[in-house]
Structure 1
């Protein structure tokens, strides 16, 4: 038995070996959906190439026909496995079931049977003879009708496979586009080689160059495997993800690399250079320590919601696994801006603190004041003037406390909606309540405030009159850039330096006519809510100056 060693046979052998090398490399990814089908495809390519090597190696007609027939095991499997793999790759694996696979195998099975029994019907080949070109011996044949049936069937499967591979990526990002491009090259190289063999080959010599082209296919897929994460970053058909969803969508592979992002996520990560897909999440969002720590755990337990803070914004990150055929495909992050919800929650907590303060004051201070008043009234039978004054002071303090409760209630009930207020008009209404005090009002400014602004000025003026014993109060208003400056200056007894440091604190009171200690505390809180500031200093020659700095209202408001 004679053998012939040619470049063609060596290329066919190299193609078979390289396909098996790729099979071994991809074996570690066998749990990725679709990978096992691709590995079967590699086995088919390797078997076809090996049989082609042995077919070229032999010079006898019997050996040539034997290996040619055996090569059809791989020949009929390649189009079908390409097609099934394309279903997995494009997210259509729901169509991969036993019935469909059996239906898909009908033509390949008939073809294989007809190849093995060709001598009795010649539906695959006919008129088989040996020929020679130089030192190369090859066989010449005519093709039967079923050969063309199988060819058309195979070409249809390959055409649909190309469509399925391309279709999901019409709007995908560059890493998937590169994967797609190399996958298409790997598919098209042997297909074009097969077309050339069937059209031009018979006019030259009948050596099938299709298996030789598998060498290029394997090289292309090796590059895609090592450089583009083929069968590592598994694509998800984008029609299954709402591109226009308002939430930030990030899909990670099992190595926490970005496999997909929607447009909102791209806007969220605008500070990143280049293509984001394929990069590790830890490099894109280093400040999200809780999320990154959570993702570093067991891949099968990635289900939960984590709240992250970035600057003044709060985000809720819902983490869940993506499954396909009971395999963990990757991790889905749905990130939502919950700043408003968190701020409302913080505001509710603050309101609860204020309500707790109200409750404490009502239970303690009013109860004490009324107890003192009741006891003092009982003593009034003795015509004790000091007891009468004490009773009146307690009753007055209770009335003041109730009024301050109204102020505090107004502060709590006000939302964040601010509007225009002319300070001169607000002050004009307040001074009507103090007929015994001489007021001097100068200037004006229009500020951003709400109804609680009346309580601000009333508290300051009341504090000057009741505790500072002021008989004259000057109110000066002016504008500096976009800020309104209001100074309330009295000629009272003044405020000691150690008191100034604590005067705006909750429940701090001083002097003979101690109040509840919440009046100026309310003032401070209201002014801060307006985005302003308040301070106190000494007046000359005596008294105090309360300075308020508030935002000016825009003319368009």
Structure 2
């Protein structure tokens, strides 16, 4: 046996060295699922190229035949490894099982058996001879039936692999199409070249394209692994992770152009993916922050941005991360957009509720302090009222006796003078009695004794008990369905009396006093209106406070007592007033079902 290095063998040497480096790289990353199939493919390729190198480097026919047989150990493994790798890469993992592996290995195993035992049956190679016309002394084969079974099997396997890769190419985004194209090249260049060589239709005489094709293929494998990270990140991972993420994911290149995006990001932008890929993001999404384009090396976590989407303005937490390419350069970025609009709304609502709660606590604290102050006032008022009531009763009794004395013989002048004094004294006594009543009503617990009360008689009795000047016109209106109603007539009359007196005092030059009763839903509305001077706007919130008054005479308990009585009925009292036009006090008292039915 003599050895002579053929020029055909040199590409195998270079490819073998690169394949060895690639195998070492894949071995370091063998935890990645497809790596075992890459290792199998490249190891089989290394065996094929080593055997081919020795076959081309000897001129001895038996040695060439031996290395041809050894070479088939790699040839039969490569299609299996590629097919299993493509199944894994394309996401068809349900077919990756022991049964599939055994099925696709049956023909290769039989082929290897036929090759190893060809000298006994010549089913694979009918004859093998040395081509002395070729300066590189290649072997000429006349193939048998076993070879054509193998040939048909490889052809079928190539078609299956091509179908899977073309489907994947159509479905993949731009970011991964280069990897798919690389796999198409890796699969079909050596496969088609080998088939051409087998049927003896090389493009040039004495040139076997399969030798160069396999060498270049494994050079391309090394290039794909290190430049395009083939096998490190596969589209299947993208489908499982990126496509199913609830956050928007956008990949931008160095020119701020959209390279890839997931369905959530496309939905947020509201433009079809085909109209977004390859375009600058700030051109297709006008609300995109311009400063994002400057973030090449930064990672920003938790940055909030406001972006206009097709369904309105939304708040996003933005994460910008650089992508390091195979040369170590950072010229691309991944932008993750997490919609926090709902969270912001909840935070704003919680903040507003907190502020309202703080204001309420402050108001309640103020009211508590006022209540404590009023409790002291109430206690004092109770004592004052008790102490003042006795001499006041004495004054009233004396007035009664004095009036009786008036029936005695007096001159007309003395009689009129004394009568005037007694009248003034009686008015002062009544005023003092009102002060005492207001003090005691405000200080003591309010007890309501509701009874079924007719409204019109109540209003008329109230007005008749009050001295109203002739210059004031009184109108009483009771709407249909307003009575009867369940309320405490004595306390309600007390409220109406205070309101009517105030209305009369607000019209010193006369005017219109209107008292109306009506029903709204399940409320009884009693309204006392006047056309008097009105109440300044700054005093409207104060008039129901105890001790607040704008009158020269008065302690400011009248309206405070009215408010307590109405609230004791479960209702509330409102005031509407315009300076110079008059005021209206509206009492709302809930009507029970029994009274409403009647």
Tell me if both proteins adopt one fold, taking TM over 0.5 as the criterion: yes
Aligned runs of 1:447-486 on 2, under 5 Å?
462=540
| 1: CA distance, partners of 2:549 / 2:224 | 86
Query: How far is 1:141 from its partner?
Result: 2.0
C-alpha contact 1:131 1:138 (8 A) present in aligned 2? yes
| 2: CA distance, partners of 1:34 / 1:190 | 21
Query: CA 1:191/1:338 → structure 2, altered by over 3 Å: closer, same or farther?
Result: same
Match of 2:371 in 1: 367
| 1: CA distance, partners of 2:119 / 2:230 | 43
Aligned Cα RMSD in Å? 4.6
TM normalised by structure 1 equals: 0.57
Match of 1:289 in 2: 301
Aligned runs of 1:383-398 on 2, under 5 Å?
383=388
Query: How far is 1:4 from its partner?
Result: 3.2
What is the DSSP-based 3-state SS (H/G/I as helix, E as strand, rest coil) of the residue aligned with 1:289?
Answer: strand
* Residue 309 of structure 1 pairs with residue 304 of structure 2: yes
| 2: CA distance, partners of 1:88 / 1:282 | 38
Query: How far is 1:373 from its partner?
Result: 4.7
Q: Deviations over 1:240-276 (max 9, x none)?
A: 5796x79434499xxxxx996313325768874799x
| 1: CA distance, partners of 2:532 / 2:18 | 104
Q: 1:337 aligns with which of 339, 350, 358?
A: 339
Aligned runs of 1:54-203 on 2, under 5 Å?
54-201=54-201
| 2: CA distance, partners of 1:84 / 1:433 | 94
Query: How far is 1:159 from its partner?
Result: 2.0
Match of 1:347 in 2: 349
Higher RCO (CA < 8 A, seq sep 6+): 1
C-alpha contact 2:190 2:214 (8 A) present in aligned 1? yes
Query: How far is 1:82 from its partner?
Result: 0.4
C-alpha contact 1:111 1:150 (8 A) present in aligned 2? yes
| 1: CA distance, partners of 2:185 / 2:142 | 30
Query: How far is 1:124 from its partner?
Result: 0.6
For structure 2, which runs of at least 5 residues remain unmatched after alignment? 252-257, 270-275, 285-291, 307-312, 320-333, 390-431, 445-527, 551-555, 558-598
Query: CA 1:283/1:45 → structure 2, altered by over 3 Å: closer, same or farther?
Result: farther
Query: CA 1:360/1:40 → structure 2, altered by over 3 Å: closer, same or farther?
Result: same
Query: CA 1:169/1:129 → structure 2, altered by over 3 Å: closer, same or farther?
Result: closer
| 1: CA distance, partners of 2:100 / 2:19 | 27
Match of 1:213 in 2: 213
What is the DSSP-based 3-state SS (H/G/I as helix, E as strand, rest coil) of the residue aligned with 2:91?
Answer: coil
* Residue 8 of structure 1 pairs with residue 14 of structure 2: no
Query: CA 1:89/1:470 → structure 2, altered by over 3 Å: closer, same or farther?
Result: farther
Q: Deviations over 1:432-468 (max 9, x none)?
A: 98965569xxxxxxxxxxxxxxxxxx9767369999x
Query: How far is 1:188 from its partner?
Result: 1.8
Greater shift, 128-137 or 184-193, is seen at: 128-137
Query: How far is 1:113 from its partner?
Result: 0.9
For structure 1, which runs of at least 5 residues remain unmatched after alignment? 253-257, 291-307, 319-331, 396-431, 440-457, 472-511, 514-557
| 2: CA distance, partners of 1:24 / 1:347 | 58
Q: Deviations over 1:456-485 (max 9, x none)?
A: xx9767369999x999xxxxxxxxxxxxxx
Match of 2:409 in 1: none
| 2: CA distance, partners of 1:79 / 1:249 | 39
User: Which has the greater radius of gyration?
Assistant: 2
Query: CA 1:368/1:390 → structure 2, altered by over 3 Å: closer, same or farther?
Result: farther
C-alpha contact 2:315 2:339 (8 A) present in aligned 1? yes
- Count of matched residue positions in the alignment of Structure 1 and Structure 2: 379
Q: Deviations over 1:99-126 (max 9, x none)?
A: 3212221111111111100111111101
C-alpha contact 2:242 2:249 (8 A) present in aligned 1? no
Match of 2:35 in 1: 35
* Residue 381 of structure 1 pairs with residue 425 of structure 2: no
Query: CA 1:224/1:268 → structure 2, altered by over 3 Å: closer, same or farther?
Result: farther
* Residue 248 of structure 1 pairs with residue 247 of structure 2: yes
What is the DSSP-based 3-state SS (H/G/I as helix, E as strand, rest coil) of the residue aligned with 1:161?
Answer: helix
| 2: CA distance, partners of 1:40 / 1:211 | 20
Query: CA 1:346/1:76 → structure 2, altered by over 3 Å: closer, same or farther?
Result: same
Query: How far is 1:84 from its partner?
Result: 0.5
Query: How far is 1:56 from its partner?
Result: 1.5
Query: CA 1:281/1:273 → structure 2, altered by over 3 Å: closer, same or farther?
Result: closer
Match of 1:236 in 2: 236
Query: CA 1:150/1:459 → structure 2, altered by over 3 Å: closer, same or farther?
Result: farther
| 1: CA distance, partners of 2:5 / 2:283 | 50
| 1: CA distance, partners of 2:178 / 2:544 | 80
Match of 2:587 in 1: none
Greater shift, 168-177 or 361-370, is seen at: 361-370
Q: Deviations over 1:366-397 (max 9, x none)?
A: 633652453243132344989999899999xx
C-alpha contact 2:248 2:338 (8 A) present in aligned 1? no
Query: How far is 1:178 from its partner?
Result: 1.2
| 2: CA distance, partners of 1:317 / 1:202 | 57
| 1: CA distance, partners of 2:183 / 2:304 | 41
Q: Deviations over 1:46-87 (max 9, x none)?
A: 111111111111212110110000001100001100001001
C-alpha contact 2:314 2:341 (8 A) present in aligned 1? yes
Match of 2:17 in 1: 17
C-alpha contact 1:139 1:206 (8 A) present in aligned 2? no
Query: How far is 1:204 from its partner?
Result: 7.5
